[in-house]
Chain A
Amino acid sequence: MDLGLLKILGIVILLAPLGAAGVCGALGPRRLRDRTHWVSILGVGSAAVAALVLLTHVASRGSGEVSTHEGAHAAVGATIPIYDWIPTGVVGRDASGGGITDEQVGTFPHRWFRVEFLVDPLTAIMLATVTCIALLIVVYSRDYMRHHGHAERGYERFFAYLALFVFSMCALVLGGNFLLLYLGWEAVGLCSYLLIGFYYGKPSAAAAAKKAFLVNRVGDFGFGLGILLIYLTFGTLSYPDVFDMLARNVDAAGTALETSKLTTIALLLFCGAAGKSAQIPLYVWLPDAMEGPSPVSALIHAATMVTAGVYMIARCGAIFVHSETAMLVVAAAGACTALFAATIALVQTDMKRILAYSTISQLGYMFLALGVYAADSAVFHLFTHAFFKALLFLGAGSVMHAMGGVIDVRQFSGLRRVLPKTCALVVIGSLALGGFPMLSGFFSKDEILHHALHVHPVLGMMGLATAVLTAFYTFRMVFLAFSGPQRVPEGVHPHESGGWMIAPMSVLAVGAVVVGYLGVGFTGKPFHTFLEPVIAHTFLAAGPNAAGAHGAAGEVVGHAASGGFLAEYGLMILSGGLSVLAILAAYVVYARAPWMAATARATFPRAHDVLWNKYRVDEAYDRVIVQPLRALGRVCFYLDEYLVDGIIWVISFVPQALGYGARGVQRGALQGYGLAMGVGLAIVVTVVLTW
């Protein structure tokens, strides 16, 4: 494997979007104005090309040859050092703190935090997904951010942020140690904050941005602690070193690892993942994040950033699999979140919010998969989900664009005639999301259910129930918006979106249909085979079917083989059938007999109320966490205002008083200063000499 080439590709993937962000920011406001999108397209496009080259390179050579490191992690990937960044100590320094030999003076064999890339199949897939979808969305934004041909206010800012986000996300994925992971993690959080609050003049957008940032802080605090604990335990933050030590079951001091410590680390890392990927209990920020422009929702809050938690756990699988507790927590949180969010989505009326809850629910599936040792299925679902969910958000954006900013499905209906292309594309995306047989979402979801039912039947059943709900609420949204008599908000003249918007959606629609076939049995599951070196080392080897993991790739993927052919295809037929039934039910209730929905609502007013108010979780958080903290803040404010400021006032008064005192005697500050110097020195000399 050509490390030099990988290094260059990695640098291009990072610097092209970063450079584009810089150029957009510097030249956008004055020079480029409504041509700014070209810079962004160029930067992100270069990164996408580089990521695809990297993907083919990794795929063609086989990851086994990539290794530069010895040990258990060897077969997984190439670590490419870029440069030494922060020295953390001296190699060979013993615990007592002394002991550097003469020969070592001048050579300084430091340990460093390095800026380094880790390139392996997981990285390659993530990079390709992120950059390609980002490219499509940047293209889409060109028209979305204009109205009647005029660029919206902040047009250049928008493209600068988007490019900056792509840089941050790629840095998160490419980084070869936990420090870079953390930096990328915070950077994507920053970009998310900036883009949610893009319309910062709107109070709800500003509040949503703040909420997203603060909720993520809670998760990131745990994440940071987890990384600190990793450093304290292993004495390094580099992935290969940490995973190597885990494989040998030793910590930095050479003693055996304690499971309880690994559980703590894993749970702390999960905290970060729950914040970033919007899992229970930290999911509350994602629905509000829909205040951002629709392309942002599609890119950051559906396809890429929110999957960072899934990526992180897949990457750190070596830590998680050491702790059954942590794996169970991950699986349970995932299953609960999936079901919980799906029920809320049943009654919402804001198209983007429905999709947001659906995203939370689908992320829950991915966590469920991780928790049942099926990380390859999690990444596969991440991959397919990126296509159809981005498509759906862009579709919602297209509707919103046509409806003059209105996105509430109660305000319009029958849009299939005025927005035929958008309608067709959204239906394709919905079919994929709803698990309609033979589309991408069907395959990836089915695989997760298959593994989950095998390992934790209860959680698996929750997943199955979620699948039914998903198909139902997705098509509820579709039928409410696109079927029935044509009705639009007053003063709106709906118009189909132009080519800049339709073309990227069409590409995504093709993806939503076909990418699933990368992971089905009769194509040989190339996706899973490709990922196998990363996943097999950690998850599969530790999972309940560890024996199967040592076989050929095909067997690995079918590692729930105990159920046999019938169980696998039986489940496929079952979940596919349920999905079709749910879609039909939605058709009947919302397109044919609307009175049924009204009756249901009237019959169970309380249930509807609870779901409509999202289980009142926001209110509960407000009561339990926000209000007490605000009270504490008020106390701190008064302490600061009166106590601290008072002290500072007193302290500031002392030199003045001294100055006045000196002035009274000596008429002028100069002598006072001199006197202070002289007296100070006299005291010092006396003290030191008589010590």
Chain B
Amino acid sequence: MTFAALGHILPELILLVGACALLVLGVTRVGRAPGALAGATCGVCAAALAATLWAGIPDGTAELSGLALSAMTFYVRWLTLLVGLLLVLLNGRQADPAEQGEYLSLLLFTMLGVLLTASASDVVVLFFAIELVSVPTYVLAALSRRDARASEAAVKYFFLGALSAALLAYGLGFLYGAAGSTSLSAMARAIGSGAEVGGLALIGLLLVFGGLSFKIAAVPFHAYAADVYEGAAAPVTALLGFIPKFAGFVALIRVLDVFGWAMSPGVFWLIWATAALTMTVGNILGLIQKNVKRMLAYSSIAHSGYMLVALLVGPRLGEGPMSNGVTALLFYMAVYGVMNLGAFAALSSFRRGEDEVELVEDLSGLARSQPGAALALCVCLFSLMGFPPTAGFLGKVYIFSGAFSVGADHAYAGALAVLAVIGVLNSAVAAAYYLRVAAVCWVNPERERLAPASGMSGRLGLTIAAVAMIALFVSPQALLSRARTASEPVLSGSVVKGVSRLGLDGASVPSGISAEGYAALSE
């Protein structure tokens, strides 16, 4: 590894240096100036984003140990940094002035974790990357909150997170045991694909799936989400709804890639059942919530279920977003990140006295006092519902049509179609609770006037989210083509670098770097 190779991970380095600098700046006099640290954080994100775009899509020639850069890396980088920028806008005034430095620094660390998850080529790096996402979120959930509920939520989150980390590490250990190497590419070669996967590797996969299920809040690892979302401040919840979930799904894509996406019946039905349960449980529990944040927590659980459907469809060569599950998943992730963030941004943009908005009824008559914010909130809710003309509609179309269009030759075509039907029914159920919030905003008389809370930055974030949802419906092809490009390496096996194996269509797919060359590099 040479000094020049560092240029390939410039965005990660910028985040790392920025996060460390913020920690130091936070205790100096500079950091006390209002808005200075938030501005600096925005600057760091923007710089990392600029570095990402300047570097473009990695050509796969970078020589880095433990990291392999692919088109997926590029997608994850810019999406994380873009949504991260919105998150910083939203979180700028969240923490107490004395804790601003730590707070924003932790925010950058979680983003760094997501970036590394996308490019790790070694299970040890993968594990650390995921923990780099998780550990700061435990702290963020409790920081600057004087509420007992927040502390309780953070403690719960931490303990259960530790449990899931143990599962993940345990599972990765099994994989190492089965393959004899920690490199993902070596694992892919050793494990092979399809039916001949050994019991050791299978246990490893199940444990890893369990550990990652916690990150994406899939049933039965979902129980923490409602408590944590309710306890944390709205801007933090916006982050919790996106960052760990994104990292979890990216890691799942990479692990399933090791197994060549050919699932044994057990694994298929496990993911099938998880997806069905996650959608259904999330939506049904969402129906009975009175607390908006709890409701959105269950909504986010349900959305994980939809995304699991896309994961189950998996990449199928050359079929585009309507049937390539990974493309649909990456597209939906971007849309979900923005619309979910928009909903929380709306919630954090007004206060009821000293408190945050908690109950659905607190939003009564919002459209009269703050029509703009109410409209933006409704756009985001309609998008979460999957209703045209918003991007959420297209996202769901891609996911479910993928499940429908696998073709009769697919072993599980019927099961996937059933799953898609369950998903569509769930979307209809979910409409009930989203619409209730919209109705309360517009129809109910005003109960007490909500004061605007967030400053210009919060309003800017909210506006961007709502406008993006409409714009991505009208013209989705820019995001779509990027998601498509990002999922191409998954198809051709170069996410797990240097693997030459049979594609699903039976044709040999060339890889970027030869296996020997890569093995030499990673030592």
Partner of A687, one of B203, B266, B322, B507: B266
**B463-487 interface mask toward A, CB cutoff 8 Å, 1 = contact, 0 = none?**
0000000000001110010001000
Cα–Cα distance between A469 and B240 once the two chains are bound (Å):
71
B235 close to chain A: CB less than 8 A: no
Task: Please give the distance in Å from A636's CB to the nearest CB on chain B.
Answer: 14
Please tell me which stretch of B3-11, B135-143, B218-226, B346-354 contacts chain A, meaning at least 4 of its Cβ atoms lie within 8 angstroms of it: B218-226
B199 close to chain A: CB less than 8 A: yes
Chain B residue numbers with a CB within 8 Å of A680 are: 210, 220-221
> Knowing A90-B319, A98-B407, A670-B159 touch, does A685 contact B264 (C-beta < 8 A)?
no
- In the complex, the answer to whether A676 meets B156 with C-beta atoms within 8 Å is no
A84 close to chain B: CB less than 8 A: yes
Task: Please give the distance in Å from A154's CB to the nearest CB on chain B.
Answer: 14
Chain A residue numbers with a CB within 8 Å of B517 are: none
Chain A residue numbers with a CB within 8 Å of B284 are: 648, 651-652
Chain A residue numbers with a CB within 8 Å of B320 are: 87, 89-90, 108, 110
Cα–Cα distance between A422 and B160 once the two chains are bound (Å):
79
Instruction: Give the one of A674, A676, A684, A685 with max B CB within 10 A.
Output: A684
**Closest partner residue, chain B, to A680 (CB atom):** B220
- In the complex, the answer to whether A676 meets B394 with C-beta atoms within 8 Å is no
A104 close to chain B: CB less than 8 A: yes
Partner of A689, one of B167, B266, B317: B266
- In the complex, the answer to whether B221 meets A677 with C-beta atoms within 8 Å is yes
> Knowing A105-B491, A680-B220 touch, does A100 contact B160 (C-beta < 8 A)?
no
Partner of A648, one of B227, B288, B405, B475: B288
Give B106-155 interface residues, CB cut-off 8 Å to A: 155
Give A670-688 interface residues, CB cut-off 8 Å to B: 670, 672-674, 676-678, 680-681, 684-685, 687-688
A106 close to chain B: CB less than 8 A: yes
B17 close to chain A: CB less than 8 A: no
Partner of B203, one of A83, A102, A104, A689: A689
Task: Please give the distance in Å from A316's CB to the nearest CB on chain B.
Answer: 24
A201 close to chain B: CB less than 8 A: no
A96 close to chain B: CB less than 8 A: yes
**Closest partner residue, chain B, to A685 (CB atom):** B206
Give A61-111 interface residues, CB cut-off 8 Å to B: 83-90, 93, 96-98, 100, 102, 104-106, 108, 110
Give B390-412 interface residues, CB cut-off 8 Å to A: 394, 397, 405-410
Cα–Cα distance between A652 and B319 once the two chains are bound (Å):
41
Partner of A98, one of B155, B287, B505: B505
Chain A residue numbers with a CB within 8 Å of B488 are: 105-106
- In the complex, the answer to whether B477 meets A85 with C-beta atoms within 8 Å is yes
Task: Please give the distance in Å from A237's CB to the nearest CB on chain B.
Answer: 15
A492 close to chain B: CB less than 8 A: no
Instruction: Give the one of A93, A105, A110 with max B CB within 10 A.
Output: A105
Task: Please give the distance in Å from B165's CB to the nearest CB on chain A.
Answer: 12
**Closest partner residue, chain A, to B388 (CB atom):** A183
Instruction: Give the one of A87, A90, A674, A685 with max B CB within 10 A.
Output: A87
B265 close to chain A: CB less than 8 A: yes
A632 close to chain B: CB less than 8 A: no
B207 close to chain A: CB less than 8 A: yes
Chain A residue numbers with a CB within 8 Å of B484 are: 108
Chain A residue numbers with a CB within 8 Å of B203 are: 685, 689
Task: Please give the distance in Å from B259's CB to the nearest CB on chain A.
Answer: 13
B53 close to chain A: CB less than 8 A: no
> Knowing A100-B505, A684-B270, A691-B266 touch, does A86 contact B397 (C-beta < 8 A)?
yes
Cα–Cα distance between A98 and B319 once the two chains are bound (Å):
9
- In the complex, the answer to whether B164 meets A677 with C-beta atoms within 8 Å is yes
A461 close to chain B: CB less than 8 A: no
B342 close to chain A: CB less than 8 A: no
Task: Please give the distance in Å from B174's CB to the nearest CB on chain A.
Answer: 11
A626 close to chain B: CB less than 8 A: no
Task: Please give the distance in Å from A341's CB to the nearest CB on chain B.
Answer: 35
Chain A residue numbers with a CB within 8 Å of B214 are: 677
- In the complex, the answer to whether B409 meets A97 with C-beta atoms within 8 Å is yes
Cα–Cα distance between A673 and B161 once the two chains are bound (Å):
11
- In the complex, the answer to whether B210 meets A681 with C-beta atoms within 8 Å is yes
Partner of A97, one of B220, B397, B408: B408
Cα–Cα distance between A674 and B406 once the two chains are bound (Å):
37
**B306-337 interface mask toward A, CB cutoff 8 Å, 1 = contact, 0 = none?**
00000000000111111000000000000000
Cα–Cα distance between A64 and B265 once the two chains are bound (Å):
60
**B208-239 interface mask toward A, CB cutoff 8 Å, 1 = contact, 0 = none?**
00100010000011011001000000000000
Give A605-646 interface residues, CB cut-off 8 Å to B: none
Interface residues contributed by chain B, number (CB under 8 Å)? 53
- In the complex, the answer to whether B220 meets A83 with C-beta atoms within 8 Å is no
Chain B residue numbers with a CB within 8 Å of A149 are: none
B202 close to chain A: CB less than 8 A: yes
Chain B at the A interface: SS class: helix
A4 close to chain B: CB less than 8 A: no
B359 close to chain A: CB less than 8 A: no
Chain B residue numbers with a CB within 8 Å of A676 are: 220, 223
B262 close to chain A: CB less than 8 A: no
Give A38-66 interface residues, CB cut-off 8 Å to B: none
Task: Please give the distance in Å from A574's CB to the nearest CB on chain B.
Answer: 52
Chain A residue numbers with a CB within 8 Å of B288 are: 648-649, 652
Chain B residue numbers with a CB within 8 Å of A8 are: none
Partner of B160, one of A93, A673, A684: A673
Partner of A87, one of B224, B264, B322: B322
- In the complex, the answer to whether B224 meets A673 with C-beta atoms within 8 Å is yes
- In the complex, the answer to whether A87 meets B267 with C-beta atoms within 8 Å is no
B428 close to chain A: CB less than 8 A: no
A567 close to chain B: CB less than 8 A: no
**A170-193 interface mask toward B, CB cutoff 8 Å, 1 = contact, 0 = none?**
000000000000000000000000
A573 close to chain B: CB less than 8 A: no
Task: Please give the distance in Å from B505's CB to the nearest CB on chain A.
Answer: 7
Partner of A100, one of B156, B318, B410, B475: B318
Task: Please give the distance in Å from B186's CB to the nearest CB on chain A.
Answer: 24
Partner of A673, one of B156, B265, B407, B408: B156
- In the complex, the answer to whether B407 meets A96 with C-beta atoms within 8 Å is yes
Task: Please give the distance in Å from A109's CB to the nearest CB on chain B.
Answer: 9
- In the complex, the answer to whether B318 meets A83 with C-beta atoms within 8 Å is no
Cα–Cα distance between A276 and B5 once the two chains are bound (Å):
65
B163 close to chain A: CB less than 8 A: yes
- In the complex, the answer to whether B505 meets A673 with C-beta atoms within 8 Å is no
- In the complex, the answer to whether B163 meets A100 with C-beta atoms within 8 Å is no
Cα–Cα distance between A655 and B475 once the two chains are bound (Å):
42
> Knowing A105-B317, A670-B160, A681-B167 touch, does A96 contact B409 (C-beta < 8 A)?
yes
**A639-673 interface mask toward B, CB cutoff 8 Å, 1 = contact, 0 = none?**
00000000011011001000000000000011011
- In the complex, the answer to whether B409 meets A98 with C-beta atoms within 8 Å is yes
Chain B residue numbers with a CB within 8 Å of A90 are: 318-320
- In the complex, the answer to whether B206 meets A684 with C-beta atoms within 8 Å is yes
**Closest partner residue, chain A, to B224 (CB atom):** A673
Instruction: Give the one of A97, A106, A677, A681 with max B CB within 10 A.
Output: A677
> Knowing A97-B408, A648-B284, A655-B285 touch, does A674 contact B163 (C-beta < 8 A)?
yes
Task: Please give the distance in Å from A189's CB to the nearest CB on chain B.
Answer: 14
Cα–Cα distance between A86 and B227 once the two chains are bound (Å):
39
- In the complex, the answer to whether A83 meets B505 with C-beta atoms within 8 Å is no
Chain B residue numbers with a CB within 8 Å of A85 are: 475-477
Q: List the interface of chain A (C-beta within 8 A of B).
A: 83-90, 93, 96-98, 100, 102, 104-106, 108, 110, 648-649, 651-652, 655, 669-670, 672-674, 676-678, 680-681, 684-685, 687-689, 691
Nearest first, the 9 closest Cβ-Cβ pairs linking A and B are A97-B407, A688-B266, A100-B318, A680-B220, A691-B266, A673-B223, A652-B288, A681-B210, A105-B318
What are 16 A-B residue pairs whose CB atoms fall within 8 Å in the complex? A86-B394, A89-B320, A97-B407, A102-B507, A104-B318, A105-B491, A105-B492, A652-B288, A669-B156, A673-B224, A674-B160, A677-B210, A685-B203, A689-B202, A689-B203, A691-B269
Given A87-B480, A90-B320, 9 more contacts at CB 8 Å?
A85-B477, A90-B319, A100-B505, A651-B284, A669-B227, A674-B163, A684-B210, A688-B270, A689-B202
